[in-house]
Amino acid sequence: MGHLLQLPWVVTPSLRCFLPPIGGSILQIAYFSASSSRRRYRSNRVIAGMECEKESINKAKRHVTSRLCRVSGSMTEVMEIQAETPKFLVLFIPGNPGVVSFYNDFLESLHQFLDGNASITAIGQISHTRKDWESGKLFSLQEQIDHKVEFVRQELEGVKVPIILVGHSIGSYISLEILRKCPEKVVYCIGLYPFLTLNQQSTKQSLIGKLAASSLLSATASFLIASLGLLPMWAARRLVSNSLGVSWSDTAVQATCTHLRQYHTMRNVLYMAMTEFRELAAEPDWEFMRENQGKLAFLFGIDDHWGPLQLFEEISKQAPGTSLSIEREGHTHGFCCTVAGSVWVAQHVATLIKNRFKYLQ
């Protein structure tokens, strides 16, 4: 789906040291003494400035907290960052797999780029969890949509600030459905690498569709992946790191090892995928998108079979008022699996929000 998070560094000018010449006059010594004193004063001010900026950066950087809650009777994993005086709330909907801990770096970076003005909540897909809270039950795309709508009505009923939806992949489609059912609460909807309709030209999608459509193949694949759960955590982390590449962040490796090695999670990932392929065989609801085009923004990738550029072109024709962007920095559909991708996309989302809602700054 790493590079180190690049924080703004303060470069201090080099400070020269002057020493009075041996045997110099009292005036020379006094001059150099005063000069040295002034430089020490300036040096102290520079150091104090660095400390203030460092304190400001640390203050802006907040870490996510995790909790469990029941929504429509289903145990749900939620990650949050609460602002002290929020001007709006960002509700993030993940893709599939819908493991919210994959997005830890993205969520923290987004909160920082929004200058701490937003509370951020991310809600996971049902049963894409570390523990099998639902006793093996499988959940369709429609059930996942209903679950998110109920979360908005249950958990966010008392929220007095505007709600901005941000969805990744199939989470973009789910976000549109939330907008459809809760138009009075949602002011903006951002889709990242959106999966809104099937790509008939994609061989990868065809293969995934066939795997997900077969109960036998899905169960077998889930069992094989879950068998990695027999490995100790250190061995699993090393296996994931070596097989998926060194670019993956520690966050992504950890989420893979804690959640995707679970049989119930993989079965739900593939079952949800099967229902996605059925639902998204139809064209997007262009009429709905035209009616809400002022509330919509999408980010596409250069080589993304889930959200191909032909979909970008079609949206620009069908709903020309939609804000459309193309990421050309070399990140992928799974941007959340690298620190660099998480930071870049977070900054892009923050810029969209700031430009759209200047009055909230």
Domain boundaries, given as residue ranges, for the chain: 24-60, 66-360
| 91 within 8 A of 156, measured Cβ to Cβ | yes
The encoded tokens of residue 9 equal 């560094």
Between CA 119 and CA 84 the distance in angstroms is 8
**What's the pLDDT tens digit per position in 99-119?**
999 999 999 999 999 999 999
Residue 59 has pLDDT above 60, yes or no: no
* 230 CB-contact burial (10 Å; exposed 0-12 / middle 13-18 / buried 19+): exposed
The whole-number average pLDDT for the span 74-98 is 96
pLDDT value of residue 30: 39
* 160 CB-contact burial (10 Å; exposed 0-12 / middle 13-18 / buried 19+): exposed
**What's the pLDDT tens digit per position in 251-302?**
999 999 999 999 999 999 999 999 999 999 999 999 999 999 999 999 999 9
Nearest one of 84, 116, 120 to 104, comparing CA atoms: 120
Instruction: Extract the runs of DSSP E, i.e. beta strands, from 170-229.
Output: 186-192
| 229 within 8 A of 258, measured Cβ to Cβ | no
85/14: higher pLDDT: 85
Cβ neighbours of 116 (radius 10 Å):
18
**What's the pLDDT tens digit per position in 197-249?**
999 999 999 999 999 999 999 999 999 999 988 899 999 999 898 887 678 99
pLDDT value of residue 245: 63
Q: Rounded to two decimals, what is the model's pTM?
A: 0.83
N residues, the chain: 361
The encoded tokens of residue 5 equal 């998070």
What angle is formed at CA 83 by the lines to CA 79 and CA 88, rounded to 5 degrees?
A: 90
| 253 within 8 A of 241, measured Cβ to Cβ | yes
CATH number corresponding to 66-360: 3.40.50.1820
List C-alpha distances in Å: 217 to 208, 261, 274: 11, 17, 12
Q: Is 162 left (phi over 0), alpha (psi -120 to 50) or beta?
A: beta
Average pLDDT along the chain: 86
pLDDT value of residue 323: 98
Between CA 174 and CA 347 the distance in angstroms is 22
| Residue 13 pLDDT grade (very low, low, confident, very high; cuts 50, 70, 90) | very low
Between CA 164 and CA 93 the distance in angstroms is 11
